[in-house]
C-alpha cells in the first residue's frame, strides 16, 4: 500500500507524496495507505507535509468504486485522522484538487496552492454532495453563502479566488510540489504561520443565502441540491452531528436513479474514446479553414479560435463575410464577458487569428478545411471539387453535413482518403458533441485526428457510421415521428413539449424544430420523399408550415408564435392540424404525459438498438453520448440506452409489442432488443466490447 505514497522523513517533517497515477484518485488502497501513514507516526515527527506527485494533488474519488459497496477505510475516517493528528498537517495543492481531494485538503491544518491549481467540489454534477466533511468544513472556512455557491455550482476555482475566500492560507511561487510542501512545513515549525483546525471554527447561519439557494433548487428536478443545502445549513450547529447528516444524505443520494444516470453520463464520455484508431498518431493541425460563414460555420470558426487555432473563413462575397465576422465577434464578446478570454486575446483573435476571404485559393496552406455550406449535395460537391484542387497534400478535408453521404462528397474531391465527416451541432461553440464519420476510404489516422481536435475544443467525439443521418440525426428522424403521430392522434404541441420538458429535456421536439429552422427538416424530407416506404405513415403539418413561409424562430412563426414576450402556439396551427386529422384513420384520443414520454422514448430506444446492431454505433454508450451531448437528453437519465436498462428491456419490448398493433410498420421490434429482453441482458453488457 505504501507504493502509492512517497514517504520521507526530513528534519522532523514527514513528507507524504501521493503517487497514484494518472490523477491520484482516492482508491481504497490509497485511502488505506494514507490512514496508515497518519496513524503510524514516530516520536521524532513534528509536522506532516502532504503533496501530490504527477499532474495534481488529488483529482477526486475513484468513480469506478461508486457502483460497488464501499470498502474500508471510508474517506471520512481518513479525513478525521488527518484532522486529529497529533502534529500539524499541511498540504500544498497543485493541478486538480477536486471532490474528495479537496475534502482531504480541508481536513489539514494549513493549505497553500501553487499557480494553476484548480480547487472544487464537483460532486453535484454526479447527483451527489461532498460526503467526507466538505459541507461542514468549507462553510466554517469561507461562510455559508460562498460554500453554497461552490457546492451547488460544482465549479473549480483558482488559487487567487481560493485565497480571497479563505479556503487556502497561501498562494506560493511556482515550485516543485515536494519542495513547496517541505518549505511550508518548516514555516509552521518555525512559527511563521499558525495552523488551524476547520472543525473547531464556527459559522453563523446565513438565512438569506439558504433561502435563495432553496428557491433555485426548487426549480430543478434533481435531489442533490436540496440535500446539499440541508447539509450546509447543519454546519451552523454541532460538527459531528453535521458530519453524520452529511454522510446519511450522501448515501441516500448514491441510491438514486439520478446519481446512476449522471455517473453513467460521466463514464460514457470516457468510454467513447475507445475506438479502433485510438493508437494512431493524429495529424498536426496548426491552421484551419472554414468554408461557409452562416450560423454553423461561424460557430465552428469561433470554437477553433477559442482553442487558439487560427481560422481562415471563406464566404461567397464580402457582405456575407462581414456578417460572419459579426457573428464570431458576438461569440467572442460572450467569452470575454464570462472571463473565458482577456480583452487582449479578444482583440488578437478578431484582428489576427481570424482571416476572412472570398476566394478558396487562400486555403492552400490549411492543415484542415471544414465545409459548412447549405445541406445540398450539389453545392457540397462543388466545394470539395475546389478543395481537392487547391489544398496541399496531406490536408484534411472535412464536411459538416448532417445527413449526406460522405463517400459521394469524397468522390467530388478526388481525394478519397483525405475526406471525413466532422458533424458539429448548433450552436457549435457551445454544443459538445462532434460526430466523427469516416467514409469507406478515409485514412484511419483522420479519425484519430478528429478525436484529438474534439478534445482540444473541449468537445465529446463519437465515432459513427456513414449512413443517412449518422447516429444522432438518424435516430432523431425516427423518434421525431412519434411527436407528429401524437399530434395528429389527439395531443397538442404544447402538451407534448411540456411532457418531455418535465421528463428532463431542455426543450420539447416542436420547440427544438422551431429553433433549428423548419426549412432544414423540410429539405431533408423532400430529398427522402422518392424512397419513402408506401406503408409509412406521413404527417405533413411541418410541410404546411414551411409552405406558408413559417420556418420557426428565424421567421418569428413556426409551431409557435414568437411575436410576443412568451412563446404561444401558432394561432393558425390548429387549422393545419385539423386538416391533417381529417385524413387520419385512428380516432382522436387523449394522452397522458406519461404515455407521451413512453412512446417517445420507446421509439428512441428501438432505433438505438438498430443503430448498434448494424454497426453504425460502436456500442450503446456511443448512442447515449450522442443523445446526451448533442440532443439534450436529460443527463440525470444517463441516455436512452441506460434509461432502457434501468426500467427493464422486457418492459420496453412489451411496450413495443402493444404499440405494434396500432402501427405495425413503425413499431417493428428490433431483433437486438427482443434478444436482450428474452435473455435478461442489458445494453450495458455490450459496452464491454471495446474495439480492437
pLDDT in tens, 296-306: 999 999 999 99
Segment 306-313 shows an average pLDDT of 97
Same fold, 2-255 and 472-615+618-688: no
Please give the backbone phi and psi of residue 420, each rounded to the nearest 5 degrees, phi first: -145, 155
CA distance 128 to 65: 14
Catalytic residue (one of 8, 65, 83, 123): 123
- List the strands of the sheet with 396-399, edge to edge: 354-357, 311-314, 288-291, 368-371, 396-399, 419-424, 433-438, 460-463
Query: What are the tens digits of pLDDT across the range 381-398?
Result: 999 999 999 999 999 999
pTM of the model: 0.91
Judge contact between 278 and 618, C-beta under 8 A: no
Please give the backbone phi and psi of residue 293, each rounded to the nearest 5 degrees, phi first: -115, 25
185 pLDDT higher than 90: yes
692 pLDDT higher than 60: no
Per-position DSSP letters for 234-283, written without gaps between them:
HTTS-HHHHHHHHHHHHHHHHTSHHHHHHHHHHHHHHHTT--TTTTSPPP
> Residue 408: which pLDDT band, with cuts at 50, 70 and 90?
very high
Judge contact between 296 and 302, C-beta under 8 A: no
> Residue 650: which pLDDT band, with cuts at 50, 70 and 90?
very high
More confident residue, 430 or 692: 430
Cis peptide preceding 22, ω within 30 of 0: yes
Segment 514-540 shows an average pLDDT of 90
Q: Is 83 a catalytic residue?
A: no
Picking from 314, 352, 315, 307, the residue whose alpha carbon sits closest to that of residue 331 is: 307
Please state which of the ranges 301-310, 326-335, 508-517, 579-588 shows the lowest mean pLDDT.
579-588
68 pLDDT higher than 80: no
Which residue is associated with the grid cell 414576450? 565
CA distance 372 to 374: 7
Question: Which three cell numbers mark 608?
Answer: 438505438
CATH of the domain spanning 2-255, picked from 3.90.1150.10, 3.90.226.10, 3.30.70.270, 3.40.50.620: 3.90.226.10
CA distance 540 to 536: 12
pLDDT for position 243 = 97
> Residue 631: which pLDDT band, with cuts at 50, 70 and 90?
very high
> Residue 689: which pLDDT band, with cuts at 50, 70 and 90?
low
Q: Is 103 a catalytic residue?
A: yes
Q: How many degrees, rounded to 5, is the angle at CA 515 between CA 509 and CA 519? A: 95
> Residue 523: which pLDDT band, with cuts at 50, 70 and 90?
confident
pLDDT for position 585 = 62
pLDDT for position 2 = 54
Which residue is associated with the grid cell 482540444? 456
Query: What are the tens digits of pLDDT across the range 471-485?
Result: 999 999 999 999 999
**Beta strand residue intervals within 114-189, DSSP E:** 118-120, 170-171
pLDDT for position 219 = 87
> Residue 688: which pLDDT band, with cuts at 50, 70 and 90?
confident
More confident residue, 52 or 3: 52
1 pLDDT higher than 60: no
Of all residues in the chain, what percent carry a pLDDT higher than 70? Answer: 99
Instruction: Write down the mean pLDDT value for the chain.
Output: 94
Asked if CATH classification 3.40.50.720 holds for the domain at 288-463, the reply, yes or no, is yes
Catalytic residue (one of 83, 103, 277, 375): 103
Segment 661-674 shows an average pLDDT of 94
The CATH number assigned to the domain with range 472-615+618-688 reads: 1.10.1040.50
Would you kindly state where each structural domain of the chain is located, as residue ranges?
2-255, 288-463, 472-615+618-688
CA distance 436 to 447: 7
Provide the terminal-to-terminal Cα distance of the chain, rounded to the nearest Å: 33
pLDDT for position 668 = 96
pLDDT for position 500 = 97
Segment 630-639 shows an average pLDDT of 95
Segment 149-163 shows an average pLDDT of 96
Query: What are the tens digits of pLDDT across the range 356-377?
Result: 999 999 999 999 999 999 989 9
Beta bridge partners of 289: 312, 369
Amino acid at each position: 500500500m505504501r507504493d502509492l505514497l512517497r514517504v520521507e522523513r526530513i528534519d522532523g517533517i514527514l513528507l507524504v507524496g501521493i503517487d497514484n497515477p494518472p490523477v491520484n484518485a482516492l482508491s481504497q488502497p490509497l485511502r488505506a495507505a494514507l490512514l496508515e501513514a497518519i496513524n503510524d507516526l514516530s516520536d521524532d515527527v513534528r509536522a506532516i507535509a502532504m503533496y501530490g506527485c504527477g499532474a495534481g494533488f488529488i483529482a477526486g474519488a475513484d468513480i469506478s468504486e461508486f457502483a460497488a459497496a464501499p470498502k474500508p477505510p471510508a474517506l471520512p475516517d481518513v479525513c478525521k485522522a488527518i484532522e486529529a493528528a497529533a502534529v500539524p498537517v499541511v498540504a500544498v495543492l497543485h493541478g486538480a484538487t477536486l471532490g474528495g481531494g479537496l475534502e482531504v485538503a480541508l481536513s489539514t491544518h494549513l493549505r497553500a496552492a501553487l499557480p494553476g491549481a484548480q480547487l472544487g467540489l464537483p460532486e453535484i454534477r454526479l447527483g451527489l454532495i461532498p460526503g467526507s466533511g466538505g459541507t461542514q468544513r468549507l462553510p466554517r472556512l469561507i461562510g455559508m453563502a460562498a460554500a453554497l455557491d461552490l457546492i451547488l455550482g460544482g465549479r473549480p476555482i483558482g488559487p487567487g479566488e481560493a485565497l480571497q475566500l479563505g479556503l487556502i492560507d497561501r498562494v506560493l511561487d511556482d515550485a516543485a510540489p515536494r519542495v513547496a510542501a517541505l518549505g511550508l512545513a518548516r514555516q509552521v515549525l518555525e512559527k511563521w504561520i499558525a495552523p488551524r483546525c476547520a472543525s473547531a471554527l464556527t459559522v453563523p447561519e446565513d438565512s438569506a443565502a439558504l433561502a435563495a439557494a432553496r428557491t433555485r433548487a426548487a426549480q430543478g428536478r434533481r435531489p442533490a441540491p436540496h440535500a446539499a443545502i440541508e447539509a450546509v445549513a447543519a454546519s451552523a450547529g454541532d460538527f459531528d452531528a453535521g458530519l453524520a447528516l452529511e454522510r446519511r444524505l450522501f448515501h441516500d443520494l448514491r441510491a438514486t436513479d439520478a446519481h446512476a444516470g449522471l455517473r453513467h453520463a460521466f463514464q460514457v464520455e470516457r468510454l467513447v474514446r475507445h475506438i479502433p484508431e485510438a493508437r494512431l498518431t493524429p495529424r498536426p493541425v496548426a491552421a484551419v479553414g472554414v468554408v461557409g460563414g452562416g450560423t454553423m460555420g461561424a460557430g465552428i470558426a469561433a470554437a477553433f479560435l477559442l482553442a487558439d487555432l487560427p481560422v481562415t473563413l471563406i464566404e461567397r462575397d464580402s457582405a456575407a463575410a462581414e456578417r460572419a465576422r459579426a457573428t464570431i465577434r458576438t461569440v467572442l464578446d460572450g467569452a470575454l464577458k464570462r472571463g473565458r478570454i482577456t480583452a487582449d486575446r479578444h482583440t488578437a483573435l478578431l484582428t489576427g487569428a481570424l482571416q476572412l476571404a472570398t476566394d478558396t485559393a487562400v486555403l492552400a496552406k490549411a492543415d484542415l478545411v471544414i465545409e459548412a455550406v447549405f445541406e445540398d449535395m450539389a453545392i457540397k460537391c462543388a466545394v470539395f471539387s475546389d478543395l481537392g484542387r487547391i489544398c496541399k497534400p496531406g490536408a484534411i478535408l472535412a464536411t459538416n453535413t448532417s445527413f449526406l453521404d460522405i463517400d459521394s462528397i469524397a468522390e467530388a474531391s478526388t481525394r478519397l482518403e483525405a475526406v471525413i465527416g466532422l458533424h458539429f451541432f448548433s450552436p457549435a461553440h457551445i454544443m459538445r458533441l462532434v460526430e466523427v464519420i469516416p467514409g469507406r476510404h478515409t485514412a484511419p489516422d483522420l479519425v484519430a485526428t478528429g478525436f484529438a481536435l474534439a478534445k482540444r475544443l473541449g468537445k465529446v467525439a463519437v465515432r459513427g457510421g456513414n449512413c443517412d443521418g449518422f447516429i444522432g440525426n438518424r435516430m432523431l428522424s425516427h423518434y421525431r415521428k412519434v411527436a407528429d403521430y401524437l399530434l395528429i392522434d389527439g395531443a397538442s404541441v404544447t402538451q407534448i413539449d411540456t411532457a418531455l420538458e418535465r421528463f428532463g429535456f431542455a426543450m420539447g421536439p416542436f420547440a427544438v424544430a422551431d429553433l433549428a429552422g423548419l426549412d432544414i427538416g423540410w429539405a431533408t424530407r423532400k430529398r427522402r420523399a422518392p424512397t419513402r416506404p408506401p406503408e409509412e405513415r406521413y404527417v405533413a403539418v411541418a410541410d404546411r408550415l414551411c409552405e406558408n413561409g413559417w420556418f420557426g424562430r428565424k421567421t418569428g412563426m413556426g409551431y409557435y408564435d414568437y411575436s410576443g414576450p412568451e412563446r404561444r402556439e401558432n394561432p393558425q396551427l390548429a387549422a393545419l392540424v385539423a386538416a391533417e386529422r381529417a385524413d387520419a384513420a385512428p380516432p382522436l384520443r387523449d394522452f397522458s404525459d406519461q404515455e407521451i414520454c413512453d412512446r417517445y422514448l420507446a421509439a428512441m430506444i428501438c432505433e438505438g438498438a438498430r443503430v448498434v446492431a448494424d454497426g453504425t454505433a460502436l456500442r450503446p454508450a456511443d448512442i447515449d453520448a450522442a443523445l446526451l451531448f448533442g440532443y439534450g437528453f436529460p443527463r440525470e437519465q444517463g441516455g436512452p440506452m441506460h434509461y432502457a436498462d434501468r426500467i427493464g428491456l422486457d418492459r420496453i419490448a412489451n411496450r413495443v409489442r402493444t404499440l405494434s398493433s396500432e402501427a405495425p410498420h413503425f413499431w417493428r421490434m428490433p431483433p437486438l432488443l427482443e434478444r436482450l429482453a428474452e435473455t435478461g441482458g442489458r445494453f450495458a453488457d455490450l459496452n464491454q466490447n471495446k474495439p480492437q
